[in-house]
Structure 1
Amino acid sequence: MTSQPHAQPPHPQTPGPPPGCPAHGGGDPVPLMGPRFHTDLEGVYRDMRRTHGPVVPVVLPGDVPSWLVIGYKEMYQVTTDSTLFPRDVGLWNQWETLPEDWPLRPMVGQRMPSVYFTVGEEHRRHLTMVQDALERVGHVELRRSTESIADGLIDRFCGAGEAEVISAYAKPLAVLALARMLGFPESDDEALIHSLGAMADGGADAIGGFDHSLELMGRLVGHKKTTPGADVVSYMVTHPEPFSDQEYTLDLMAITAAGYLPTADWIGNSVRLMLTDDRFAASLTGGRHSVPEAMNEVLWEDTPTQILAGRWAARDTRLGGQSIKAGDMLLLGLAGANADPAAHDPGSSADGLRNSNFAHFAFSHGEFQCPFPAQEIAEIIARTGIEVLLDRLPGLDLAVPADTLARRPSPFLRGMTVLPVQFAPTPAYGG
């Protein structure tokens, strides 16, 4: 779970990189789109690192320039120094040239009264309220609720002997587990699945999905202010520090949108790893010891949130050998930094660091990282979902060759588009 509300951009034809882009002071920036981001991601970052080093000039759709930080040391510096690299979108030196219909506006955001888009003392005020509410979530009850939802979803397909894990299980499980925790009524389930899915997919109905989601959340905030219960939204609206209904609603949107797709992709990417890598075969025969190892390796090697926007340079500076101008945007290349060879012991085994070390950037880092209670919640939902799936479906295996599996065509969010599986048919728990 990251602390950014994701809206996946459309995927227009990528223009050629503009030579000598002014914001980069010359040189050819790398287009941050294209099929290699889901067919050869390792090669993409290797080529970037070889050509440009740990800080890469990139161009976003619409010829919008930025910097992509893929060095582990540089990522630590940027996310730690919030004075030099604040998360203040108002500093961006591209606003005057940015088209109103630029497809990545929802990802970059604007100054809004929410936990994600505020800075300084105002950010800390929102963060305290959100974090206090999330810390009150009972982990035992969350696991039980997630197990119940997982069983209900599996009951729908367990007798068929085949299923598509992403659409039939991982995505609805993430939405429904979050919905129960937040306090949404079951009557909103289908609407939430549809609207959040549309928003995350970034298609023609993405804005409509966002608006409908916001409407559902505003309605929930109003209800919980008069009828609070044992749920996160009730904890938010009864917090001692007062907030407006708009602030509550936008903070709720940040929690929900940031938790939905990354958690679903954590499930999908982990199941894919366990079905395609012999090291995790033990878990498929009833053992549990490999599940957390697979989940941690995914956070290192295949993290759901690949790139976050971002930080903005408060003044002219240098980073990773590059000259950064005041107002330049820096994209946080979480996956690139995780893969930085400088961060790994060359004398260790290929997977030694990942299985025993949690110093990855999957949840970002520093003042604006995903709050720790949110990380715990995402881990509980994802691990519970994986374990129930393995328990319920004996002989679980891929239904297609592994090399035919397709990923979402985005450099920002990395997950499977589909994950077809087969298994021995079993009766539904619900009869």
Structure 2
Amino acid sequence: MTNPHAPASTSSPEGPDGATGFALYGPRFQREPAELYRRIRQEHGPVAPVVLEGDAPAWLVLGYREVWHVTGNPQIFGRDSRRWHSWHRVPPDWSLRPYAEHQPCSFHVEGEEHRRRAGATGDALSAVDQFQLRADVERIADGLIDAFVARGEADLIAEYALRLPVLAIARLLGLPDSDAPALARDIAASADEGEEAVRAHQRVVARMQHLVTEKHELPGDDIPSRLLAHPAGLPQGEIPTDLFFILGAGQLTTADWLGNTLRLMLTDDRFALSLTGGRRSIGQALNEVLWEDTPTQNFVGRWATRDTELGGRRIREGDMVVLGLAAANTDPDVRPHTDAEALGNQAFMSFSHGEHGCPQAAREVAEVIAETGVEVLLDRLPDVALAVDADELVWRPSVWMRGLIALPVRFTPAPVRGGIG
């Protein structure tokens, strides 16, 4: 295992521009990534040469202002990865290929084509009835809690946080609940390291292709049907990839947002009183998690459209740029200095920024699911408490996502309510 306390520059094959690159993968990100980013920033500045899994060279942007600049200037830092000069250096089963390789969807295209596709996706998500969504999430949450409420103990990650978002999003897509477990497993695997990530991605896209065919033949009140009928005229064969990113991004980030918020409220004395109606609200906990333990830690990526300068570094045409969203949130030059300043401050980079940032409608869906999930759980299990010491909780060893492996709790057994899981 890599020593997380070793100097940041000691683990490094060749990065971009021949620079010594910090290895941006492995278990060192498991416990205290914020401290690791602080040391990388201290040694390299706001833009650091890194090497991704598979020895892929890239620049990691850690500075808040620099991330803002990259995401706000798509004409210099584009989303089309076909301009990357190092594709020959990664294998066919490279784990980041599903997210980095160019595909005909709103996630990867640029300019007017991006605005057309993103507009259709935004319209499909904006049509979601927020009140109906909240009611559905409440019923799903009650059903999940019913499965363990009589035991007096549970793992809130495996039995709740990982299952609630995918069940809610599956219904928005017009999928049966029976599809949710396999989709949740494959979506999680698609964001991990290793060749299984590629196979998991392929399985999810195949299911989305089948779903689009079904909705073409029998439309419903769901996101795929709205995309098929949208005036933008998206090709039917390209919609499954957009659905993969809607489902994947929604599931991964919302599950970790929910799980990380539950962890905060169960381990931090400032939020402990909230379990019995104290001062700190669920909304404040959700907001703090986006600053401290944001689900999306790093994001691939952008590719330089021409030679340019960023954070004192020379970025060459075709270089890959990784958005260090978590690092930007802890940038001391912009970070709120006091707890009072942080409360309600939503200047975090957790949803990225600019025209390729997370759509507002998608953020609203995620917030409804996460907030309702916490509310229902605390209502049903008012004396819920950790079943282990807080320092025994283990984070997944991922450089991309921030979430717990498990969150074991205990509580007073209670009766089943008969929700819909």
TM-score by length of 1: 0.91
Separation in 2 of the partners of 1:304 and 1:429? 31
Cα 1:153–1:200 shift into 2, 3 Å: farther
Separation in 1 of the partners of 2:172 and 2:325? 28
- Contact 1:133/1:236, CA 8 A, preserved across alignment: yes
In the alignment, which of 390, 407, 418 is matched to residue 419 of structure 1? 407
Does residue 24 of structure 1 match 2:17? yes
Aligned to 2:289: 298
Separation in 1 of the partners of 2:114 and 2:10? 36
* Cα distance, 1:205 vs structure 2: 4.3
- Contact 2:163/2:181, CA 8 A, preserved across alignment: no
Code of the residue aligned with 1:254 in structure 2: it is F
In the alignment, which of 196, 214, 219 is matched to residue 187 of structure 2? 196
Aligned to 2:355: 367
Code of the residue aligned with 1:82 in structure 2: it is P
Code of the residue aligned with 1:65 in structure 2: it is P
Separation in 2 of the partners of 1:229 and 1:293? 36
Q: Deviations along 1:309-352, whole A, 9 cap, x unmatched? A: 1111111111111111111111000000000000035xx42x23
Does residue 240 of structure 1 match 2:235? no
- Contact 2:27/2:397, CA 8 A, preserved across alignment: yes
Does residue 57 of structure 1 match 2:52? no
Does residue 41 of structure 1 match 2:33? yes
Aligned to 2:313: 322
Aligned to 2:143: 152
Alignment of 1:74-153 (within 5 A): 74-108=66-100, 110-153=101-144
Alignment of 1:274-423 (within 5 A): 274-286=265-277, 290-345=281-336, 348-349=337-338, 351-423=339-411
Code of the residue aligned with 1:57 in structure 2: it is P
Aligned-residue RMSD, C-alpha: 1.9
Code of the residue aligned with 1:155 in structure 2: it is D
* Cα distance, 1:293 vs structure 2: 0.3
User: Does 57-66 or 297-306 show the bigger shift?
Assistant: 57-66
Aligned to 1:3: none
Secondary structure of the structure 1 residue equivalent to 2:362: helix
Secondary structure of the structure 2 residue equivalent to 1:342: coil
Separation in 2 of the partners of 1:189 and 1:85? 36
Separation in 2 of the partners of 1:205 and 1:35? 18
Separation in 1 of the partners of 2:184 and 2:35? 34
Separation in 1 of the partners of 2:18 and 2:196? 38
* Cα distance, 1:216 vs structure 2: 2.0
Code of the residue aligned with 1:184 in structure 2: it is L
- Contact 1:15/1:61, CA 8 A, preserved across alignment: no
**Structure 1, unpaired ranges of 5+:** 1-13
* Cα distance, 1:47 vs structure 2: 0.6
User: Does 229-238 or 160-169 show the bigger shift?
Assistant: 229-238
Code of the residue aligned with 1:401 in structure 2: it is D
* Cα distance, 1:178 vs structure 2: 0.3
Separation in 2 of the partners of 1:278 and 1:197? 31
Identity over the aligned pairs, expressed in percent? 50
Separation in 2 of the partners of 1:338 and 1:194? 29
Separation in 1 of the partners of 2:335 and 2:184? 39
